[in-house]
């Protein structure tokens, strides 16, 4: 299967004529130019290729995972059934729930009562206003609101940071 994924990645990079692309370029090319699959399937294909090591992802760019110069790629390459099955399996795989960040926010809401936020609705509204203004995660906004209210946020800051980094 790894060989088929390497051939698929090699066919993509040879046909696009670049060694570096963005994920959006990958999806658009696979979907619209070569018409291998739908955009959701193309996103799943990209994930399968990255997970297999056929494509490397760093800094928001995709690059070949290995040297494909010795691979034989058919002229009119289309992904094989095995590649399509891997994509279908990837699409069925449930995404990991983002519960870690969601679990911290209720803890912060409960903590807000100790720092002058008697109405939890007002605290949540303030957090949403900060989130929209700064373009940050809700937990980060809640952390800032608590800090401005005089709360000691050292332990919470570490949890929020760990969860924010994990999302990317």
Mean pLDDT, to the nearest integer, of 142-168? Answer: 79
Tell me how many degrees the CA angle 94-95-98 measures, rounded to the nearest 5. 135
pLDDT of residue 95: 59
Q: How confident is the model over 82-117, as pLDDT tens digits?
A: 999 989 988 887 655 545 444 688 888 888 888 888
pLDDT of residue 90: 86
Give dist(CA 103, CA 92) in Å, integer.
26
Q: How confident is the model over 3-50, as pLDDT tens digits?
A: 889 999 999 999 999 999 999 999 999 999 999 999 999 999 999 999
Confirm if 78 and 41 have CB atoms less than 8 A apart.
no
% the chain with pLDDT above 70: 90
DSSP 66: S
pLDDT of residue 101: 45
Gyration radius (Cα) of the chain, Å:
22
Give pTM, 2 decimals: 0.55
Domain range summary for the chain, segments of one domain joined by +: 2-92, 99-167
Mean pLDDT, to the nearest integer, of 73-77? Answer: 89
């Amino acid at each position: 299967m790894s060989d088929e994924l390497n051939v698929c990645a090699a066919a993509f990079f040879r046909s696009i004529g670049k060694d570096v692309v963005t994920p959006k370029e990958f999806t658009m090319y696979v979907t619209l130019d070569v018409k291998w699959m739908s955009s959701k399937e193309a996103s799943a294909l990209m994930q399968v290729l990255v997970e297999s090591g056929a494509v490397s992802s760093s800094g928001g760019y995709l690059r070949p995972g290995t040297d494909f110069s010795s691979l034989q790629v058919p002229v009119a390459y289309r992904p094989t059934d095995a590649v399509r099955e891997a994509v279908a399996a990837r699409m069925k795989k449930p995404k990991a729930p983002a519960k870690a960040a969601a679990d911290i926010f209720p803890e912060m809401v409960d903590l807000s009562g100790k720092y002058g936020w008697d109405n939890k609705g007002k605290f949540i509204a303030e957090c949403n206003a900060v989130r929209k203004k700064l373009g940050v995660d809700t937990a980060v906004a809640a952390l800032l609101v608590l800090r401005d209210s005089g709360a000691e946020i050292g332990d919470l800051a570490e949890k929020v940071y760990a969860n924010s980094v994990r999302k990317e």
